[in-house]
């Protein structure tokens, strides 16, 4: 069973809570753009929380995954009548501004990796 690292796990919980608050109470561009930033931080923190990969590989994976999901949205396969869970997880509308949010989110996640002590040398300093 993987060891749970407390600082990234706490970051994942806080970013999820912030995302839920933003989803429920945010409006306009702040809701979507902020949510896209938070989802990147959340995914990176989840991976770091279970010690999967290195800081660099996590950041690259999360950025590529996010961009891939955005590209998938451009195919228009999730229509207005699709299940709500597909809209929530995959989205349905391609927006190039989302790509900028993912890059910013990756920067925030890189800062979190550094704060956790993992980005400085690539060595897991959380023992």
Cα 98–64–57 angle (5° rounding)?
130
Distance CA 47, CA 91 (A): 22
pLDDT given for residue 29 in this prediction? 87
Task: Indicate yes or no: pTM above 0.85.
Answer: yes
Q: Are 35 and 26 in contact (CB under 8 A)?
A: yes
Domain map of the chain by residue range? 6-115
Query: In which band, very low, low, confident or very high, does the pLDDT at 119 lie, cut at 50, 70 and 90?
Result: low
How does pLDDT run across 6-62, given as a tens digit for each residue?
A: 999 999 999 999 999 998 999 988 998 999 999 999 999 999 999 999 999 999 999
pLDDT at position 120: 56
Q: In the predicted model, what is the mean pLDDT of residues 87-107? A: 92
CA distance 58 to 33: 21
């Amino acid at each position: 069973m993987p060891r749970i690292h407390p600082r990234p796990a706490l970051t994942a919980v806080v970013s999820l809570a912030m995302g839920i608050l933003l989803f429920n109470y945010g409006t306009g561009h702040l809701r979507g753009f902020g949510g896209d930033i938070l989802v990147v931080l959340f995914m990176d923190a989840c991976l770091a929380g279970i010690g999967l990969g290195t800081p660099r590989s996590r950041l690259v994976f999360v950025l590529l995954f996010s961009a891939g999901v955005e590209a998938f949205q451009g195919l228009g396969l999730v229509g207005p009548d699709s299940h709500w869970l597909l809209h929530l997880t995959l989205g349905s509308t391609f927006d190039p501004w989302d790509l900028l949010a993912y890059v910013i989110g990756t920067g925030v996640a890189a800062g979190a990796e550094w704060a956790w002590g993992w980005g400085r040398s690539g060595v897991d300093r959380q023992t």
